Structure 1
Amino acid sequence: MSERMILNRIKKLMELEEQMKSLQQQADKLKEEIKADMEVKKQEEIKAGNHVVRFKTIVTNRLDSKALQSSLPDVYKQFVKQTESRRFTVA
């Protein structure tokens, strides 16, 4: 692929990412409006047509790896798992 072709693809990619960002902001705004309405009505679930919208509190338990590493470093080292990934960026 020539440099010109890559530049054209990068330009198109950046345009599409900007459009996605704009659409995501619009979607987030609509979600916030729906959530605000549900909070005002004190509802965790609403039905609208064929859709069911839920906005519930979920409690999860997660391991605080930094606290474990600082208080029990040997145990942390015993269970830590290294992973590998690749990152694509355009600057």
Structure 2
Amino acid sequence: MITVNEYFDGAVKSLAYENQGKSTVGVIDKGEYEFGTTTHETMLVVEGQMEVLLAQDGDWKTCSAGQQFEVEAHTTFKVKTAEQVAYLCKYR
């Protein structure tokens, strides 16, 4: 089953699916957003570039197409985008 997710008044949209675990594939519109996690997440930037601020880090880091970052369960993280960014997120 595919589930449609929408956040921040439609500025972030994704499709959730199950294939060897839960994943989402989506698009983030330009802007700044804060997300919370319930499970460990690995986020791969498919297209575009985003700035990422993880809860344990004090500095924003750039993550470009082909790069990924990991977020621990039960934390928050922020992203900033200057353009639309496509991503793949895997949960475990």
TM-score normalised by L of structure 2? 0.18
Higher relative contact order (CA 8 A, sep 6+): 2
TM-score normalised by L of structure 1? 0.19
Largest Rg, 1 or 2:
1
Greater helix content: 1
